[in-house]
Amino acid sequence: MSSEILKLTTEIVVSHASMSELSPEQLVEEIKEVYNALSSLDGGGILEESLSEKAEEVSGVQKPSIPLKDIVKAKYVVCLECGKKLKTLKTHLRKAHALAPKEYYQRYDLDPKKFPLVCKDYSAARSQMAKDRGFGKEGGRKKATA
């Protein structure tokens, strides 16, 4: 029966790895997690888990898979859930991962002031557009005349 579990584990991990980018460490952890899940369904043995994983599960805070300095760039922001590079994350987090920004920040223990959900270029362009339209100035916005 364990050879069947290994075959199923291989199929599942290969399928997942083909859809997302995984580091070697993440791949090993993925194999362990899938094998453990399938083994527990069968009542078999479980591969050893590291203490740091158990501590992470208890605290609820996950360690980002990429360095924090690479999360927010001029042209994109990286989603720590799936690794996609996007201009804005708020809608993506809500639609793809069912996460509110507050939950996302808590999950990865990030400071919202240091790690915005919008890339720098997009933020600057929106700011300039608002200034060009006169928003933020006393009496700057023209009222429509009918």
The CATH number covering residue 110 comes to: 1.10.10.1550
**pLDDT at residue 100, as a whole number:** 92
Q: Residue type for 136, please?
A: G
- How many domains is the chain partitioned into structurally? 2
Residue 64 lies in a domain: no
Ramachandran area for residue 93 (φ above 0: left; ψ -120 to 50: alpha; else beta)? alpha
**pLDDT at residue 144, as a whole number:** 53
Residue 114 lies in a domain: yes
- DSSP letter at 137 equals S
Residue 113 lies in a domain: yes
Residue 106 lies in a domain: yes
Quote the CA–CA distance of 86 and 89 in Å, as a whole number: 7
Check if the beta carbon of residue 139 is closer than 8 Å to that of residue 132: no
pLDDT tens for each residue of 113-128: 999 999 999 999 999 9
Whether residues 41 and 83 fall in one domain: no
**At residue 41, does pLDDT exceed 60?**
yes
**At residue 1, does pLDDT exceed 60?**
no
Whether residues 85 and 125 fall in one domain: yes
Residue 136 lies in a domain: no
**pLDDT at residue 77, as a whole number:** 93
Percent of the chain past pLDDT 90, that is, above it, reads 25
Range of the domain at 24: 1-49
- DSSP letter at 78 equals E
Q: How far is CA 25 from the centre of its chain?
A: 17
The torsion defined by the Cα of 26, 32, 38 and 41, in degrees rounded to 10, comes to -120
pLDDT tens for each residue of 49-89: 543 444 444 446 777 777 788 888 999 999 988 889 999 99
Residue 71 lies in a domain: no
Residue 62 lies in a domain: no
Higher-pLDDT residue of 141 and 50 is 141
**pLDDT at residue 128, as a whole number:** 93
For residue 15, CA distances in Å to 3, 7, 48 come to 18, 12, 23
